[in-house]
Chain A
Amino acid sequence: MKKTLAMIIASTLALSMLTGCGGNAGAKSEGTKTESPKTEEPKADKASQTLVFAQGAEPRGLDPAFVDDGESSKVIVNIYEGLLAYEKDSTEVVPALAESWEKATDGLSYTFKLRQGVKFHDGTDFNAEAVKTNIDRQIPPQRKEDMPYASFVFADVKDVEVIDDANVKINLTKPNSAFLANLAMSLAAPMVSPKALEENDGNVNKAPVGTGPFKFVSWNPAEDIVLERNEEYWGEKAKAQNVIFKFIPDNSARIVALKNGEVDMIDGIDSTGVDQIEADGNVIYNVPGMNINYMAYNVSRKPFDNPAVRVALTKAINVPELVTALYGDYAELATTILPTFIPGYSKDVKQTAYDPEAAKAELTAAGFNQTIKMIVYNNPRPYNARNKALAEAIQSYFSKVGVNVTIEDYDWTTYKDKVIAGDYDICFYGWIGDNGDPDNFLNLLADQNPALNVARFNDPAFNEIIAQGTSTEKGPERDAIYQKAEQYVADLAVWVPVSHASNLSAHSPSVQNYSYHATGNIFFKDMYKEAAK
């Protein structure tokens, strides 16, 4: 009796589950049905002028002074422009809102000749006063605590002098050879309409007004940001009528959205999605990334303060094998901290070579016999899609030379706190370049902020080389200084540079002129969709 009852209940449950699923599926297909006309509502030719881009997260805000994340930056570069910009496929500095510039012989001031007839989206003029307003709000005394990039981009700016409407002079406290590169950055440097700043209490995170090829239309939280073409643009106008940024956090959901034609372009993919995207008939865009994925010894702790121990341990790691196995074609083996296309990169820099036998012998000689405490992040990072697999691969290399390792992994936010707390022998980190300048990478080892200098390396001789770099004119002499700096830290085995991850993005074959910048930004001005698909 009991069994029959159980059978009846079980079958009822099973049935209700089935109908439950059916109901769900129905609702889902309905959902897509109502959704598809929304994006394809305009006539065919108009629809082709709307570009839809899906990214992994929502921007924090759209005021370039108040954000520090790449997701915000991708929207910002299409609304705003700075005085300078980067070349389409490099980080070479080119004119933007400034037509030309002149550097004082002492390197302590720069005079910019501004482009004339440029208007902000709100109709006000772009002029020298606007430049002054934008920089003044990001240097003391107006600079606020929550302007993450202000102290970096305008590091040595003393003040801004308005010469006349078309000319502006920026004075520095000391020469800084990265200054021009900084002015082309997508954070802090872009010019915001002073009128808009005034109307929004100095923060246009929700009401961006720039001079760029696209104007801000709307922002539906957790859904999308819509931009439209700026018909008053000073240069060649954008080809597409609208750009929509969608936020789809899940990697595979973004790939599916591209497959369905819901979006035209996506980024933030890793090697595991590539096959599927290509099988769906979409195009992968793979460019070398401006980043470094590395392992750092905590040189403030014994015995890792001893270079001999670090070199011996590094000899146990077969970095080339590891990079091929974990990242395949989507990352390049790092032989230096600098990516290959950054000035100052040199293929002559020699890292510690793989030699497990020597590692064993040297570790014994150094009397090394302790368990290493490793910490690692457990979310994929743009420079390391395989997060803790990297730590585990190194753990097994160490175990082959008889060194035991414990690994603790944390989510990214907690991880950053753990790094600052400093209780580790080895940690994993990475850096995404901001401005294509070698100082931007190598200063990490000279900075005394433990959140940036995770190896806690503090070597006066090295700091001296870095200081020399910032005060030297761009050119072969400066490049040689950075090569020296690279070899200096390589010999001391402070970091183990692992790889430079590719920037992987994908688009539908109908998108023309697609490109994705090494800084992780995407500029939609020249892109359009082919009408017939």
Chain B
Amino acid sequence: MKTQKAVQTENGSIAIEKPESQFKQMWYALIQNKAAVAGMIIIIFLIFLAVFAKFIMPYDPNYADLAINKQAPSAAHWFGTDEQGRDIFSRVIDGTKISLSVGVTAVAFALSLGTIFGAVAGYKGGKIDTVIMRFMDIMLSIPDILLAITFMAALGRGIDKAVIAIGICSIPEYARIVRGSILSIKDSEYVQAAKVIGNNDMRIIFKHILPNVLSPMIVRATLGISTAVLNTAALGFLGLGVQPPAAEWGDMLGRARVFIFEAPYMLIFPGIAITITVLAFNLLGDGLRDAFDPKARK
């Protein structure tokens, strides 16, 4: 069904344009949004740091030398050294890896489970819907950081457990988005048609319905990464995150807290790292939302 059509452009000339896929249109909208582009560039930079951390870090981030602890930023230690005499610059870079990987895997985890729950609830309806969604409501009624703390307390320390804790807490959000979108399209004609030609439920959900709810999910997932990064930092700050000596930004902040007057640089750099990462994902997420929304698109 590929046809070419004539479009009248603003200056009145007639141009021949190829039909654009939804994603292409979205991409154009996105790259016109300066804030979103900035976010994207920062994210690419962070990914670069995480991947090539080994080659960028001037020191082993976990090597402690108590003889040079609590040193202010200098040429040798750009961000100074912490209480254990470790290089903060190396640790901030090393922390990128942890924050990004926790953010992405926690969201992937929540997204897949949330999608399944939401899809089943929305498509099946009735009692199944009630049971799943009331359970999700119960989870939503508890602030997610509290829920994450509870899970961490039960599961114990470790980055893998932080992923699970943070992931579980955001399942309900995805479940609700997916369910809502499914409810709005499950009675549409093409779904009915798919049913008529004998597709089973699984196929209808995954092949015909889910692709149509992709855009709100992508937006939510991008913003979800920033929440997950923040939650990881919060858990770390509370001393529930990584196993020492691993470098995690929130953990670095938490242990430097008592030195806020004595050695503020110990807090400033991990703090900036968290801010930049969260900001980048928020900018990109907002940009994506606008880009996906035909009404907001110019």
Contacts and interface: CB of A to CB of B under 8 A. Distances in A.
The answer to whether A binds B is yes
Interface of A: 2, 270, 272, 275-276, 318, 321-322, 324-326, 378, 386, 388-389, 391-393, 395-396, 399, 406-409
B239 interface: yes
A96 to B, nearest CB: 40
22 contacts: A270-B258, A272-B261, A272-B262, A275-B262, A318-B66, A321-B66, A321-B67, A325-B66, A325-B67, A325-B69, A325-B83, A326-B83, A389-B83, A391-B244, A392-B84, A392-B245, A393-B64, A395-B245, A396-B62, A396-B84, A396-B245, A409-B239
A386 B64 contact: no
B296 interface: yes
B261 A395 contact: no
Interface of B: 62-64, 66-67, 69-70, 83-85, 156-157, 239, 243-245, 255, 258-259, 261-262, 295-296
A298 B270 CA distance: 36
Nearest to A385: B258
B258 A272 contact: yes
A408 B157 contact: yes
Contacts of B85: 325
A523 B70 CA distance: 37
B286 to A, nearest CB: 11
A506 to B, nearest CB: 15
Given A272-B261, A325-B69, A378 B239 contact: yes
Nearest to A406: B243
Nearest to B65: A396
A227 to B, nearest CB: 33
A392 B246 CA distance: 11
A81 to B, nearest CB: 38
Most buried by B among A2, A389, A408: A389
Given A386-B83, A392-B245, A399-B245, 13 more contacts: A270-B258, A272-B258, A272-B261, A272-B262, A325-B85, A388-B244, A389-B83, A389-B255, A392-B244, A393-B64, A395-B244, A399-B62, A407-B243
Contacts of A389: 83-84, 255
Given A389-B83, A392-B84, A407 B244 contact: yes
Contacts of A270: 258
Nearest to A376: B244
Residue of B70, B84, B156 with most chain A CB atoms under a 10 A cut-off: B84
A433 to B, nearest CB: 26
A393 B239 contact: no
A393 B86 CA distance: 11
Contacts of A322: 66
B250 to A, nearest CB: 15
Nearest to A411: B239
A324 B64 CA distance: 15
Contacts of B63: 396
Nearest to A409: B239
A295 B45 CA distance: 43
B84 A272 contact: no
Contacts of A392: 64, 84, 244-245
Contacts of A324: 66
A428 to B, nearest CB: 14
Contacts of B69: 325
A361 B245 CA distance: 25
Contacts of B62: 396, 399
A389 B70 CA distance: 13
Nearest to B240: A409
Given A272-B258, A407-B244, A408-B157, A396 B64 contact: yes
A326 B259 CA distance: 12
Most buried by A among B70, B244, B245: B244
A318 B69 CA distance: 14
A285 B243 CA distance: 37
Nearest to A322: B66
Contacts of A408: 156-157
A396 B259 CA distance: 21
A275 B70 CA distance: 15
Given A321-B66, A396-B64, A276 B84 contact: no
A167 B261 CA distance: 58
Contacts of B83: 325-326, 386, 389
Contacts of B295: 2
B223 to A, nearest CB: 16
A275 B67 contact: no
A408 B85 CA distance: 21
A145 B243 CA distance: 40
B85 to A, nearest CB: 7
Contacts of B66: 318, 321-322, 324-326, 393
A409 B242 CA distance: 12
Contacts of A378: 239
For A322, A388, A393, A396, the residue with the greatest tally of chain B CB atoms inside 10 Å of its CB is A396
A109 to B, nearest CB: 52
B86 to A, nearest CB: 8
Contact of B261 (A276, A388, A409): A276
Contacts of A393: 64, 66, 84
Given A389-B84, A393-B66, A396-B64, A272 B259 contact: yes
Contacts of A395: 244-245
Contacts of B259: 272
* Residue in A272, A325, A386, A406 with the greatest tally of chain B CB atoms within 10 Å: A325
A106 to B, nearest CB: 54
Contacts of B244: 388, 391-392, 395, 407
A322 B66 CA distance: 7
A407 to B, nearest CB: 5
Contacts of A409: 239
B34 to A, nearest CB: 15
A275 B157 contact: no
Contacts of A272: 258-259, 261-262
Nearest to A270: B258
B254 to A, nearest CB: 10
Nearest to A324: B66
B84 A2 contact: no
Contact of B296 (A2, A391, A399, A406): A2
Nearest to A279: B261
A409 B64 CA distance: 20
A322 B258 CA distance: 18
A325 B66 CA distance: 6
A409 to B, nearest CB: 7
Contacts of A326: 66, 83
Nearest 3 pairs between A and B by C-beta? Answer: A396-B64, A325-B66, A325-B69
A9 B98 CA distance: 36
A409 B153 CA distance: 12
A276 to B, nearest CB: 6
Contacts of A2: 295-296
A276 B258 CA distance: 12
A386 B66 CA distance: 14
A392 to B, nearest CB: 5
Contacts of A399: 62, 245
Nearest to B66: A325
Contacts of A325: 66-67, 69-70, 83, 85
